[in-house]
Structure 1
Amino acid sequence: MRLIDHTQASLLDYTCAQLGCFFPSGDGAALRHRLERHLPQALKRLAHCIDRVRMWQSGQFNYLNSSQYCLYLYFLANTVWREERSEEAVGAATRLFLLNKALNGIDLFYEIAMPEVFFIGHSVGIVLAKATYGNYLVLYQNSTVGKNRGVAPVLGEGVILYPNSAIIGHCRIGDHTTVSQGTGVINRDTPGNCMVFAGTAGELTIKAAKRPLIDDFFRF
């Protein structure tokens, strides 16, 4: 994957400089060494994701594209945590998570197992719990996936959450479900291949999808 205006070394320097600015500490050299070990794997995961998003050019990563940089910080934090689990690795992953939150306004914890391929339209206000996420997920601003009484949703493949939508609690969301803007799905299931709208008296209106909207977002 081509890194626009960066090499792996300079991208690492850039990331470490941001971490040092936001979260200064005395372990800069050790932090850089730890991130350096995991950067190639994180970039491999990022490349796989970027290559499948239709609106992005395959084979290149632009650190000034905030959505791409948001994914980069998640994949790096998650890779560090997944591959090590030491106290120092947790500290590094936490700082990357907090950097992502500060820069992009997203609450995406490093322990969350996001799918291999997902797309963030606008990251501001997105809050994601430790739920089950299917591949080819689409998220827009102020969308939420959350727990209710400790129970987290299960999302199938090709789920789209438009702005200000939410999936909360005991939900099984079928493949290719689109949750419309401003709609909350709380302790409800969806059959899949459908569009979900806010109904009356707290009920939902579920309509069969006329075509797979997910095709607009991804290369399959």
Structure 2
Amino acid sequence: MEIVNLEAGRLAAYCCEQIRRLIPFGDETEFGLVEKHLPEALQRLDHCVSNVAIWKAGRFDILHSSQYCIFLYYLSNTIWKQEKATAICTKLFLLNKQLNAIDVFYEIEMPEIFFIGHSVGIVLAKATYGNHLVLYQNSTVGKNNGVAPVIEDGVILYPNTAVIGGSRVRERSIIAQGVSVINRDTEPKRIVYQGAENTLVFRESRRDILSDFFRSV
């Protein structure tokens, strides 16, 4: 994978230096895990970026905030799955939160392919996330009484949306801006609007909006 705006061999050191400056704790004993698991994290990122229609395949720009946001998640999640190293994973999570204003914990299983339009204000609980997920600013996925939603493949969450509790967002559902889905199911392949008295209204899309975001969906 081509890395833009930084020499590839400096990426691990760059991440660690960001942690030093923004989360200045003295313990650096797990910093070596960043370099150790960087190849796998970049492989996961490459697969994701190469499937996003508006991004150039095989190219990672560290100054592209959405790409860097996804990279930090993959790096923290990879280290967590391979090492269960809480300290460095927490620092990478906090770094992502400080740089990109996103709350995506390293234990969460995000899909292989997803797109972040703008990361500011996104909060993601430990829910089930399907592939080809689209997230925009201030979108929230949260639990209710310990119950987490299920989000199927090809879901779009536009700005200021919320999916809470025992909800199932069906395949290729599009949650329109400002809509809250709380303990409810959506209809597949429909745009979801807010109706009267917190009801949901489902309408058919006139075109395949998901193809604007991803290749081969």
Instruction: Name the TM-score class by shorter chain.
Output: over 0.9
Is the partner of 1:138 in helix, strand or coil? strand
1:160-202 Cα shifts (integer Å, max 9, x gaps): 0000011111111110000000000111101210000011111
Determine the structure 1 residue equivalent to 2:119: 123
Q: Which residue number corresponds to residue 104 of structure 1? A: 100
Name structure 1 gaps, 5 residues minimum: none
Amino acid at match of 1:19: I
- Per-residue deviation at 1:27? 3.3
Distance, in Å, in 2 between the alignment partners of 1:26 and 1:128 is 29
What SS does the aligned partner of 2:57 have? coil
Q: Give 1:1-220 correspondences, 5 Å limit.
A: 1-28=1-28, 30-85=29-84, 89-220=85-216
Residues 193, 212 of structure 1: 8 Å contact kept: no
**Deviations 1:37-87 (Å, cap 9, x if unpaired)?**
1000000000000001111111100000000000010000000001111xx
> 1:25 is matched by which residue type in structure 2?
F
Report the residue type matching 2:126 in the other structure: K
> What is the count of residue pairs matched by the alignment?
216
What percentage of aligned pairs have identical amino acids? 54
1:185 match: secondary structure: strand
Cα RMSD (Å): 1.0
Compute the displacement of 1:25 (Å).
Answer: 3.0
User: Per-residue deviation at 1:211?
Assistant: 2.4
Cα distance in 2 for residues equivalent to 1:202 and 1:39: 45
Letter matched to residue 35 of structure 2: E
Distance 1:26 1:206 in 2: 53
Confirm or deny: 8 A CA contact 2:31 2:88 kept in the other structure. Answer: no
Q: 1:11 offset after TM fit, Å? A: 1.0
- TM-score scaled to structure 1, two decimals? 0.96
Q: Distance in 2 between matches of 1:13 and 1:83?
A: 20
For 2:210 and 2:163, the matched residues in 1 are separated by 18
Q: AA paired with 1:130?
A: K
Q: Secondary structure at the match of 1:83?
A: helix
Contact kept? 2:149, 2:166, Cα under 8 Å: yes
Q: Secondary structure at the match of 2:106?
A: coil
